[in-house]
């Protein structure tokens, strides 16, 4: 089915980004097939079945490079079973694997359970362990953004981009720059993200801040085009009241006074 193929493609792309040079210590194809099956079950609302299925694969994949532990921790986290998620992520870290997303999973558990200092410290450890991996700096930038430390988020996004050009870091750069009232940086960053991954044209939040930034720079026609494009590509955007209000203002010459509404 299409959903299954998309999950497999998404996971394969993830592996290409962050897997170590040593590769899997087990059958990569079987692993991807199995985790796709578990994710399909979870997406269909069969949460217990998904976890039971993946737990049943422990003897095949656990205790090696941390990939199994990461995926199990993510399933637990999505159920808000944070105690279980923390324990399995910790097991993954104890393997001394070359899979940096283990750090991300555990830091998110700390963040969601109010242990901000531990979360921040762990991401610092990730940067020290993987100083050349863009994901290290992006993950820290994402946390700083959540904590409303927008300047730090922007700076870390720029470091991530210096390590590897990627759409996620451009989007984080745009989001933090928007909060810092830097519309030109927002415009450039969103356009770079779109050039790398055209699906950002359908990203409601991305296109909102893009349109507002264009309008604030007096680029009204381009802002209108951006809004109309996301409305075509995203059903949720088609009924978004904030976008409708901005579009009406942009099409009304009397309201083109350089003042545009802000989005949260």
User: What local confidence, expressed as pLDDT, does residue 36 receive?
Assistant: 96
What does the pLDDT average to over 133-162?
A: 96
Strands (E), the chain: none
Q: Percent of the chain beyond pLDDT 90?
A: 73
Torsion of CA 254, 211, 181, 154, to 10 degrees: 180
Taking the domain 60-131, which CATH number applies?
1.25.40.10
User: What CA–CA distances, in Å, run from 71 to 107, 109, 125, 219, 228?
Assistant: 15, 14, 21, 44, 38
Length of the chain: 264
The domain ranges of the chain are 60-131
Give me the helix-helix angle, 47-55 and 67-78, nearest 10°: 160
pLDDT band at residue 18 using 50, 70 and 90 as cut-offs: very low
Comparing 4 with 112, the larger pLDDT belongs to 112
**CA-based R_g, the chain, Å:** 21
Higher pLDDT: 205 or 251? It is 205
């Amino acid at each position: 089915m299409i959903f299954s193929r998309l999950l497999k493609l998404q996971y394969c792309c993830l592996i290409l980004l962050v897997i170590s040079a040593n590769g899997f210590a087990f059958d990569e194809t079987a692993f991807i097939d199995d985790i796709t099956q578990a994710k399909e079950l979870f997406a269909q609302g069969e949460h217990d079945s998904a976890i039971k299925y993946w737990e049943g694969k422990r003897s095949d994949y656990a205790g090696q490079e941390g990939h199994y532990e990461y995926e199990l921790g993510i399933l637990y986290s999505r159920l808000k079973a944070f105690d279980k998620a923390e324990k399995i992520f910790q097991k993954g870290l104890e393997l001394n694997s070359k899979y940096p997303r283990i750090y991300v999973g555990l830091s998110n558990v700390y963040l969601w359970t109010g242990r901000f200092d531990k979360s921040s410290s762990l991401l610092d450890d990730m940067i020290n362990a993987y100083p050349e991996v863009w994901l290290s700096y992006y993950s820290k930038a994402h946390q700083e953004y959540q904590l409303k430390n927008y300047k730090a988020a922007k700076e870390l996004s720029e470091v991530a981009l210096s390590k590897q050009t990627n759409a996620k870091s451009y989007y984080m750069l745009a989001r933090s720059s928007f909060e810092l009232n830097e519309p030109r940086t927002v415009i450039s960053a969103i356009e770079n993200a779109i050039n790398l991954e055209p699906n950002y044209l359908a990203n409601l939040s991305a296109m909102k801040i893009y349109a507002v930034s264009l309008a604030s720079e007096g680029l009204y026609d381009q802002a209108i085009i951006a809004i109309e494009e996301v409305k075509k590509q995203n059903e949720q955007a088609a009924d978004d009241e904030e976008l409708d209000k901005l579009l009406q203002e942009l099409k009304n010459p009397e309201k083109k006074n350089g003042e545009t509404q802000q989005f949260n």
